[in-house]
Amino acid sequence: MVLSPNAAAFGIAEEPLVLTGVGMCPPTRVRTNQIKLPDIAPDKQNPHGGPAASHGIAITSDQKTLLVNSRLNSALYAYSLPELKFLGGAVLGGKGAGWLTVTPDDKTAYVANEHTNNVSVVDIKSLKETALIPVGFAPARNATWMAP
């Protein structure tokens, strides 16, 4: 397996996200750092929560910003890279933040909210939700596609 020189693995809360070498015996697991998602008041948390603290993680193409969503907090958080300084977060109108994708220009993030059947559109620079798009049942595996 070949990794980019900038490849990194991050741990989120108590659940480390690791890189696993495909075809390597035994598989190689590397944790380079760990972040803790912000705590919010229990009455503001998604009652359906997990099972994982996060299911979406992305790095902007300039490799300066790490985006991480929180199922429990229904939020998208941003951290600077490589120092992992907390930059802020966007509260999402939907619940169950899952899959995350970023546009090629690094301006917009889309977060699939599986518990409310919608997708949050987030302006990455301001960390504000700009739209909430109703979609079909339990959206997942979203990806950015640019029409020619």
Which range (16-20, 30-34, 44-48, 124-128) has the least confidence?
A: 16-20
pLDDT given for residue 143 in this prediction? 81
pLDDT given for residue 20 in this prediction? 44
pLDDT tens readout for residues 22-35: 555 565 666 667 88
pLDDT tier for residue 21 given thresholds of 50, 70 and 90: very low
Q: What would the two tokens of residue 104 be?
A: 């090629």
Q: Shortest CA distance to 92 belongs to which of 42, 51, 46?
A: 46
pLDDT tier for residue 47 given thresholds of 50, 70 and 90: confident
pLDDT given for residue 15 in this prediction? 46
Q: In the predicted model, is pLDDT for residue 13 greater than 90?
A: no
pLDDT higher at 46 or 122: 122
pLDDT given for residue 25 in this prediction? 57
- Name the strands in the sheet holding 75-80, side by side, starting at the edge strand that comes first in the sequence: 57-59, 65-70, 75-80, 86-91
* Burial readout 30-69 (b: 16 or more C-beta within 10 A, e: otherwise): eeeeebebeebeeeebbeebeeebbbbebbbeeeebbbbb
Amino acid occupying residue 107: K
Return the percentage of the chain with pLDDT > 90, whole number. 51
Widest CA span in the chain: 46
Mean pLDDT of 58-82: 94
| Cis upstream peptide for 82 (omega within 30°) | yes
Q: Which residues contact 129 (CB under 8 A, 6 or more apart)?
A: 90, 91, 92, 93, 120, 121, 122
